[in-house]
Structures are given as C-alpha cells and as structure tokens.
C-alpha cells in the first residue's frame, strides 16, 4: 500500500511539473552557433587544391532579412528553421570526403537534428495573411537546389563538398551576424 501511494504521488508530481513547464517554441541560437563551429572544424580552411572548383552559389540574404515587425520576424525565423532543415537533408547523403572528421560530422548531424526536432513548431506560427515565409522558402529552395546539383555534377567529390561547406558556412555566419536580431530565439538566449 505504501509503495502504491509513493508511486501514485511520484507520478502526480512528475505530471504536474511537466504540465506547468512553460512551452516555448523558439530556435536556439547556441545550437546554431554550435552547428556553425562544427561545420567550420570539419576540415578547417578552404583547401588550396579546390580553388579551381570554388564557385559562388549566391546565398539569398533576403530570405533572412527583416524590417523588425513581428510578421517579418516570424518569416525570418521560419526561414532559418527551413535552412537548418535543408542543411540536414543535404547531409543525409552518406558520401562525404574521407578527410572530414567523422566524429565532428556525426555531432554536427545530431545537433542539426536536435534543433529541427525541438523547433519544428515554429512552422505552425501564423501572422494572418501577412506571413511572407512562402517567398523566403522559394529563394532558399533555389539556393539548396544549386548546392545539391553542384554536388551531383561533381560526383560528391572532396572539392565539391568543400565548396558546399563554404557556402553553408557563409549562410550560417550571415544568420548569426546579420539576421540574429530579427530571429525569435529562445528567451534564455536572446542576449547572446
């Protein structure tokens, strides 16, 4: 009887703690920073031997820019989420350069997955008919299609992946430096 009472009380306490926890639906800037750092650490600087393959894919800055209004902040936040998801999908391919640090790559993929799973609710946000995310999504899709096509054309070669990595680093750096003030980050990390 005592054991049953203890179990019931423990279960009720656990449920009440979970029930009263605030649910926030935000991106986590620390995870985006970690993603950037891991991608940068994967191999270091752009390899000299890949300079002939170094192309500019044309990162869509407009997908992350905002005028500080709530409706555009929502669109920019959704765009960051969409970009992270597209990066994750790009890295689902198992054909990576042997020179990349496998452990760093694994942690990178896990951090991306965690961010996507924990933040997927941002895609449910609406701001009436003012939500401009569909326009941002089209621009991002074109960018990621170009990266995917380039990787395929170059048979997922070392230099093709290095070019893709360079472009993705630029995208993440832009988000962290220039778009960060308009993104709806989790409350404990807004000041970061």
- What ranges do the domains of the chain cover? 25-189
Task: Give residue 124's pLDDT.
Answer: 80
pTM: 0.78
Mean pLDDT of the chain, nearest integer: 78
Q: What confidence category does residue 14 fall into, taking pLDDT thresholds of 50, 70 and 90?
A: very low
Domain 25-189 has CATH 3.50.30.50: no
Q: At CB < 8 A and 24+ separation, what contacts does 104-113 make?
A: 104/38, 104/41, 104/42, 105/42, 107/38, 108/35, 108/38, 108/39, 108/42, 111/31, 111/34, 111/35, 111/38, 112/35, 112/84, 112/87, 112/88, 113/88
Q: What does the pLDDT average to over 68-89?
A: 82
């Amino acid at each position: 009887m005592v054991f049953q009472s203890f179990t019931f009380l423990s279960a009720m306490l656990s449920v009440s703690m979970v029930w009263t926890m605030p649910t926030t639906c935000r991106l986590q800037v620390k995870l985006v920073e970690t993603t950037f750092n891991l991608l940068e650490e994967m191999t270091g600087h752009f390899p000299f031997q890949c300079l002939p393959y170094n192309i500019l894919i044309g990162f869509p800055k407009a997908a992350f820019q905002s005028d500080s209004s709530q409706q555009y902040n929502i669109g920019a936040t959704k765009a960051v989420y969409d970009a992270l998801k597209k990066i994750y999908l790009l890295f689902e391919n198992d054909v990576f350069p042997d020179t990349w640090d496998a452990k760093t790559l694994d942690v990178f993929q896990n951090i991306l997955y965690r961010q996507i799973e924990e933040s997927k609710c941002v895609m449910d946000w609406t701001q009436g008919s003012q939500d401009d995310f569909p326009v941002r999504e089209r621009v991002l899709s074109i960018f990621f299609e170009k990266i995917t096509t380039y990787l395929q054309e170059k048979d997922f070669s070392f230099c093709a992946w290095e070019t893709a990595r360079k472009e993705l680093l630029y995208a993440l750096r832009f988000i962290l430096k220039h778009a960060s003030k308009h993104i709806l980050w989790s409350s404990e990390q807004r000041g970061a």
